[in-house]
Amino acid sequence: MKLNGKVAVVTGSGRGIGRGLAMRLAQDGAAVVVSDINIENAQKVAAEIEAMGGKSMAIQTDVTKTDQVNELVDKTVAKFGKLDIMVANAGIANIKMSIEMTAEEWNKIMEVNTTGVFLCDTAAARQMIKQGHNGTMGSGGKIINCASIAAHSGFAILAAYSASKFAVRGFTQALAKELGPHKINVNAYCPGIVGTDMWTLIDEKMGPYLGMGKGEVLKEYTKLITAGTVGVPEEVACFVSYLASSDADYMTGQSVMIDGGIVMN
């Protein structure tokens, strides 16, 4: 298994894409800390990992709180001795026209999706720098951020979400340059339409704006997918597994679409 001996943290991993990432990294041999604001969900995923013979621990974390993010890293190191991989996956969406959105709603999206990534990345980076490296790229650690196809092309009725993910993409590039001397890779994955609770919410809330009923928005957006089918978390996890491994040591500062061919650059 290519991640044997590695220790990973995955935020927002109590369900959806995050759960898929945690399970895949555990299957690859990593000890996985399942971090989520919902501790019950996190505990279930950690139990699943342990049931298949893996090492895991569940930690409740609000990624917008500096002290909780620092505690997440500290508890990880106390339990497993180090931190090799940080996957900043936690995120939320707000489906609303910009002219209807309040500043509080806008700020909440930015706080979770952008500030949350900043806090997780920098807390992990400080620990990774302390641990050192062997002189080769990637040996200092792997930081992997959740962006979106909305980080490459803004989507109507998802303006705040799009802005937050563009910010993640820019931060990923800048942090990759800052941490390169420490041999730490920083990349992002950009999911498209994935069959999770978030897309159930988007379908429900976007429908009235477009004059569509339940299920029709998802059906319409699926037409944009070159591959012809909605994605599943495991397909995103395949790419994150690559980013976490030594196979991706020469790759940094990139935000790559895993969307079945919706957005092509």
Cite the active site residues.
Answer: 161
> In this structure, what DSSP letter does residue 3 have?
T
Structure tokens at 258: 């895993």
Distance separating alpha carbons of residues 53 and 71, to the nearest angstrom:
26
For 97, the 3-state DSSP assignment is: coil
For 112, the 3-state DSSP assignment is: helix
Structure tokens at 60: 């409740």
Query: Minimal CA–CA distance to 19: which of 236, 165, 246?
Result: 236
Cα–chain-centroid distance for residue 34?
12
> In this structure, what DSSP letter does residue 136 have?
S
* Distance (Å) of CA 157 to CA 108, 169, 194: 16, 20, 18
Cβ neighbours of residue 56 closer than 8 Å, sequence gap 6 or more: 22, 26, 31, 32, 33, 34, 45, 46, 47, 49, 50
Cβ atoms < 10 Å from Cβ of 19? 24
